[in-house]
Amino acid sequence: MASKIRDVHKGAHRAVFPDITAGGPPSLPVLPVERTLVHRAHLRDVLPTQLTRRDDTHFTVSTRWPRDHRLFVTSDGRYTASLVLETIRQTTLLVSHAELGVPVGHHFVMWELCHRLDAELPARGTAPAGVTLDVEVTKLRRRGAVPTCVAMEMTIRMSGHAVGSGSIRFNITSPAAYERIRGSVPTSDDPAFAAALPDPVDPPAVHHDRECDVVLAETDQPGCWQLRADPANELFFDRVNDHIPAMVLVEAAQQAANMLVPWGRFNPSSSEMNFSRYVEFGIPCRIEAHPFTAEDGTTSVSVTGHQDEQLAFVIRFAR
């Protein structure tokens, strides 16, 4: 799947996003979808605004992007790749619950997540709306009426123009089955985890202002950090969780890449992510990053996470 995503858009790589601010007066505010359908506790964090069904396997999701955000907007006022990935994730949840028959309360286990952009991300305020995702369900397995395994591919559009692509693959587990699989494990509401957080790296080193948004702690090895995730940070934990969410791991990989690119924020044009196991609370998770420079001068960073000496994820970013 990852190779297919790499080949979707080879043409106008790193072009300019279309200007959606010209051609008319500002539109009225757009309301988000019901927050439970995208697993967010606060409406301010909900990105999708509308879901349109084309047929049984094709859908279009309209979204709104925030004008400002601590994680999704750079210090120089540009949107980040993490926002694109979160848009893909929320689109997946919305389609699954609203159209594929996944009950709210079921658990999503993500295995793969990819994206590619063929244009520089726009500046803050120039694209608060007008971002849509055309979704195709490419794989669907069910147990009875409820899906158990789903894969989706998406075309990302801005003002009607295709500007990128994405894909995702995940399993779905009922609450009862999830409890049998996971058993009794520590959760994010345990105050011991906040008390035991290691000191973060210097926030400006990863282009942040607040220590609570930093998910890396120093180690004595170059290119290696310990994962830290503040359970009091609602951007990462807006509900009780029994493992570190995948999007926190994505943020850790993004911050690790930033640590290796001293000349500025590393804002990748593409990513390929594979998740192989849960990252648990209370057990150190080692984050390692390795940069690569291609013959054409583009920079890639491969980031891995290991817990108990077992590989938990691999995230590859390319500029």
Beta strands 119-120; 15-16: pairing state: parallel
Query: What is d(CA 175, CA 33) in angstroms, rounded to the nearest whole number?
Result: 24
Q: Which segments of 99-187 does DSSP mark as H helices, in order?
A: 175-182
- pLDDT tens-digit map of 144-199: 999 999 999 999 998 888 999 999 999 999 999 999 999 888 889 888 888 789 99
Largest Cα–Cα separation, the chain: 56
Count the alpha carbons within 13 Å of 59 in the hemisphere toward its beta carbon.
24
Question: What is the pLDDT at residue 17?
Answer: 52
As a whole-number percent, the residues of the chain with pLDDT over 70 amount to 88
Which of the 8 DSSP states describes residue 132? E
Question: What is the pLDDT at residue 3?
Answer: 40
Q: Would you call 28 exposed, middle or buried from its count of C-beta atoms within 10 A (0-12, 13-18, 19+)?
A: exposed
| CATH class for the domain made up of 2-180 | alpha beta
| Residue at 104: amino acid letter | V
User: Given 2.60.40.10, 3.40.1080.10, 3.10.129.10, 3.20.20.70, which CATH number is that of 184-318?
Assistant: 3.10.129.10
Question: What is the pLDDT at residue 125?
Answer: 64
Domain limits of the chain? 2-180, 184-318
Question: What is the pLDDT at residue 75?
Answer: 72
Question: What is the pLDDT at residue 26?
Answer: 43
Question: What is the pLDDT at residue 92?
Answer: 98
Query: What is d(CA 50, CA 132) in angstroms, rounded to the nearest whole number?
Result: 9
Q: Coil, strand or helix: which one is 296?
A: coil
Residue with tokens 């801005």, as numbered in its chain:
158
Buried b (16+ CB within 10 A) or exposed e, 115-133: bbbbbebbebebbbbbbbb
State the angle between helix axes of 246-260 and 81-98 in degrees (0 to 180), rounded to the nearest 10.
170
Q: Are 122 and 62 in contact (CB under 8 A)?
A: no
Which residues touch 83 (CB under 8 Å, ≥6 apart)?
65, 69, 71, 72, 73, 121
Q: What pTM was computed for the model?
A: 0.88
Stretches where the chain sits below pLDDT 70 are 1-29, 124-129, 262-264
Tally of helices (H runs) and strands (E runs) in the chain: 5, 14
Would you say the CATH fold of 184-318 matches that of 2-180? yes
Q: Are 126 and 119 in contact (CB under 8 A)?
A: no
Which of the 8 DSSP states describes residue 161? E
Question: What is the pLDDT at residue 69?
Answer: 87
Query: What is d(CA 54, CA 292) in angstroms, rounded to the nearest whole number?
Result: 41
Q: Are 215 and 305 in contact (CB under 8 A)?
A: no
Query: What is d(CA 212, CA 169) in angstroms, rounded to the nearest whole number?
Result: 30
Element (H, E) at 262: none
Q: Which tokens sit at 148? A: 């158990």
Question: What is the pLDDT at residue 8?
Answer: 33
